[in-house]
Amino acid sequence: IDNGDIKAMIDDFKNKFAKVVILLIQVKDEKITLAAGVKDAPLKAGALVKEAAQILGGNGGGRDDFATAGGKDLNKIDEALKQSLETIEKAL
């Protein structure tokens, strides 16, 4: 899946729900791509992906409603997901 497809998937979810937080993680060629979308929720997509990317040895950011990031430490995906879920739960 390329970055355009990932953004389209997030946009589809945002169009289907009044309030939603989406975090997608893709591993391809030993690299991790993160993408987040937020609609009508007290959380910023840029902050969410940046936090996860730092755990994964990368960086990223973006707008409040959509952001992307990258990482390289495949062994820390579970840790990044756990932290992201905790961040989402606290915000909601």
Written as tens digits, the pLDDT of the chain (92 aa) is 787 899 999 999 999 999 999 999 999 999 999 999 999 999 999 999 999 999 999 999 899 999 999 999 999 999 999 999 999 999 98
Query: 27 to each of 8, 16, 51, how far by Cα in Å?
Result: 18, 26, 17
**Which residue do the tokens 């905790």 mark?**
86
* Element holding 67 (H helix, E strand): strand 66-71
The three-point CA angle 36-74-68 to 5° equals 20
Ordered domains of the chain (ranges, CATH): 3-91 (3.10.310.40)
Q: What is the pTM of this model?
A: 0.90
Residue with tokens 């409603």: 65
